[in-house]
């Protein structure tokens, strides 16, 4: 038997229908109460809080955010370019950002192996992109590509969002050969599909600002993501309001004296159509909007008061279209300054002149910035040493027996001048103390020159070797008498 349900819109018929249908009658959900704050519902407030305050800490989400920041914020892109360039760019016209020197003499074959792997992997050229990627993402993965002769021929870039680092309970890399137990694994981002596994020695993993509780690094602009979202929303709202309120509105006041209400409305509508219509073709009329925003039309009637025509009390004001309410950009500057703080780059370096303070403050900012650049160089040094050590091991050479150091060009000549002045003062004091018999040469070398015992023994042996051969006197090149007299005066 088929039951035809009555129209549920009628309350009496609905009650009858529910009795007939019984349990088959669809249940109406209870109305949900919602509170509002500042005109926003509770649900809207929750969405706002999740968007701006509850930032995800998952690696994939962080990587996506920082890439968008690099693509959309000029300050971020310029600062990353500048930091990577300042950290690796040499002075004096040299094309090599770093050099490898040796603490003691090594055989030519070992030196050729080290120089060869640096040349094949293009470390000198790739230092910039590796430094920038490490600062942006917090992690930089490079696979060591090795040929049949055991030579490292390439540092292949591996997208950080696709790489997994597997560590055991005490923080050591795993060394398994099955899925989930490799030291490094590459997986499809967001899909977690296994692609390939790598042993510890097959991968170069550089980490920026790594904390002890995380297996990965942290992006330089990790903490700026919240400020970036707010800044982005405020800038978009500001641009929209500038565009929509930047056009003038026209106020038309029409005389509708002695006209009934309906007739007055019709007269105003006819006037609006006469302004907005234009002849397109014969018997074809089109609409032509005068402005991007709507104009204002108001009817104004006059009344006879004591023989005088007086305006009615009806009035209208033209809305402020100059966008003065949106010229205050202090909140935007506030969130931009938070992003600049996370970048660790002095704002004057980016051309932001309003942040220039006293000369002493700028000098202090410059010193902090130079020390920050040295941190970048230290991270790159780790990658260079891992590359060199692996190549030495592939050639059956113990890297611990090859004492070499990676030397970078100094990022600041002002620091060099200060160090040189301090060294000169130390030398004068040490010479006086040694004459008095208070200190000896080893004390000076280990304290002021910071030499280790091994370095001192090697240096002392070389000095003794040099003392066996007397210095060759400098013979002045022949010149005119004026040059000779000038030399004597200088002496």
Indicate the range of 83-97, 116-130, 178-192, 198-212 predicted with least confidence. 83-97
Residue 491 to residues 103, 424, 477, 481, 488, Cα–Cα distance (Å)? 36, 20, 16, 15, 5
In terms of average pLDDT, the best of 5-14, 80-89, 95-104, 460-469 is 80-89
Average pLDDT over residues 302-327: 61
pLDDT band at 12 (very low <50, low <70, confident <90, very high): low
pLDDT band at 324 (very low <50, low <70, confident <90, very high): low
Residue 118 to residues 24, 62, 152, 386, 389, Cα–Cα distance (Å)? 78, 32, 9, 11, 11
pLDDT score recorded for residue 199:
94
The first and second tokens of residue 166, run together, are: 């597997």
Average pLDDT over residues 232-256: 72
Kindly calculate the radius of gyration of the chain based on its CA atoms and give it in whole angstroms.
Answer: 39
Question: By CB neighbour count within 10 A (0-12 exposed, 13-18 middle, 19+ buried), where does 145 fall?
Answer: middle
| CA angle, 424 then 430 then 436, to 5° | 145
The three state secondary structure string of 195-264 is EEEECHHHEEEEECCCCCCCCCCCCCCHHHHHHHHHHHHHHHHHHHHHHHCCCCCCEEEEECCCCCHHHH
Q: Are strands 194-198 and 184-187 parallel, antiparallel or unpaired?
A: antiparallel
pLDDT band at 487 (very low <50, low <70, confident <90, very high): very low
Average pLDDT over residues 65-79: 91
Residue 84's CB is within 10 A of a number of other CB atoms, namely 23
Rounded CA separation 380/131 (Å): 7
Q: Considering the chain, what is the average pLDDT of its residues? A: 77
Indicate the range of 144-148, 166-170, 277-281, 342-346 predicted with least confidence. 277-281
Confidence check: pLDDT of 182 > 90: yes
pLDDT score recorded for residue 163:
95
pLDDT band at 183 (very low <50, low <70, confident <90, very high): very high
pLDDT score recorded for residue 490:
43
The model's pLDDT over 133-150, given as tens digits with 9 standing for 90+, comes to 999 999 999 999 999 999
pLDDT score recorded for residue 139:
95
Average pLDDT over residues 105-129: 92
Average pLDDT over residues 207-214: 86
pLDDT score recorded for residue 1:
45
pLDDT score recorded for residue 244:
66
Does pTM surpass 0.85?
no
pLDDT score recorded for residue 489:
44
pLDDT band at 440 (very low <50, low <70, confident <90, very high): confident
Residue 247 to residues 145, 236, 238, 240, 391, Cα–Cα distance (Å)? 61, 18, 15, 12, 68
Average pLDDT over residues 93-109: 82
Confidence check: pLDDT of 389 > 90: yes
pLDDT score recorded for residue 122:
94
Give 95's DSSP letter.
Answer: S
Confidence check: pLDDT of 336 > 60: yes
The model's pLDDT over 397-422, given as tens digits with 9 standing for 90+, comes to 999 999 899 988 766 545 555 666 77
What lies within 8 Å, CB to CB, of 184 at 6+ separation is: 141, 163, 164, 165, 166, 173, 197, 198, 200, 202, 203, 205
Give the percent of the chain with pLDDT over 90.
Answer: 28
Confidence check: pLDDT of 115 > 80: yes
The first and second tokens of residue 246, run together, are: 């930047």
The model's pLDDT over 263-285, given as tens digits with 9 standing for 90+, comes to 888 888 887 777 666 555 555 55
């Amino acid at each position: 038997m088929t039951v035809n349900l009555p129209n549920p819109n009628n309350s009496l018929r609905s009650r009858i229908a529910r009795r007939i249908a019984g349990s088959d009658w669809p249940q109406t959900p209870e109305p949900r109460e919602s509170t509002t704050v500042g005109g926003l519902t509770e649900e809207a407030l929750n969405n706002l809080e999740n968007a701006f305050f509850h930032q995800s800490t998952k690696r994939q989400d962080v990587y996506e955010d920082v890439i968008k920041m690099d693509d959309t914020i000029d300050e971020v892109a310029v600062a990353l370019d500048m930091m990577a360039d300042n950290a690796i760019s040499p002075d004096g016209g040299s094309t090599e950002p770093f050099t490898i020197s040796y603490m003691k003499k090594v055989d030519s074959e070992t030196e050729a192996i080290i120089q060869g792997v640096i040349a094949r992997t293009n470390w000198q050229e790739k230092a910039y992109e590796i430094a920038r990627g490490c600062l942006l993402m917090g992690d930089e993965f490079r696979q060591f590509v090795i040929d049949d002769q055991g030579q490292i021929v390439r540092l292949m870039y591996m997208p950080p969002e696709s790489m997994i680092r597997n560590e055991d309970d005490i923080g050591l890399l795993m060394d398994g050969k099955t899925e989930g137990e490799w030291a490094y694994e590459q997986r499809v981002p967001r899909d977690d599909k296994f692609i390939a596994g790598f042993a510890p020695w097959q991968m170069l993993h550089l980490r920026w600002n790594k904390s002890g509780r995380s297996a990965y690094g942290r992006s330089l602009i990790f903490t700026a993501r919240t400020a970036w979202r707010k800044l982005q929303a405020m800038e978009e709202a500001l641009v929209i309001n500038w565009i929509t309120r930047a056009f003038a509105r026209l106020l038309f006041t029409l005389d509708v004296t002695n006209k009934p209400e309906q007739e007055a409305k019709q007269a105003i509508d006819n006037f609006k159509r006469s302004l907005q219509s234009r002849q397109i073709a014969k018997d074809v009329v089109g609409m032509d909007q005068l402005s991007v925003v709507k104009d204002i039309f108001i009817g104004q009637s006059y009344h006879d008061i004591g023989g005088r025509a007086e305006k009615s009390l009806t009035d209208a004001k033209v809305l402020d279209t100059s966008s003065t309410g949106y010229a205050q950009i202090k909140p935007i500057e506030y969130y931009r300054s938070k992003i600049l703080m996370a970048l660790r780059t002095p704002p004057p370096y980016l051309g932001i002149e309003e942040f220039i303070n006293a000369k002493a403050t700028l000098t202090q900012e410059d010193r902090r910035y130079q020390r920050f650049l040295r941190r970048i160089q230290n991270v790159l040094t780790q990658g260079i040493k891992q590359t060199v050590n692996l190549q030495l091991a592939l050639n059956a050479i113990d890297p611990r027996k090859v004492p070499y150091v990676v030397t970078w060009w100094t990022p600041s000549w002002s620091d060099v001048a200060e160090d040189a002045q301090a060294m000169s003062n130390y030398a004068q004091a040490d010479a006086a103390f040694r004459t008095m018999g208070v200190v000896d040469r080893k004390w000076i070398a280990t304290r002021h020159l910071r030499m280790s015992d091994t370095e001192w023994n090697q240096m002392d042996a070389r000095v003794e070797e040099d003392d066996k051969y007397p210095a060759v006197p400098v013979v002045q090149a022949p010149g005119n008498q004026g040059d000779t007299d000038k030399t004597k005066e200088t002496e």
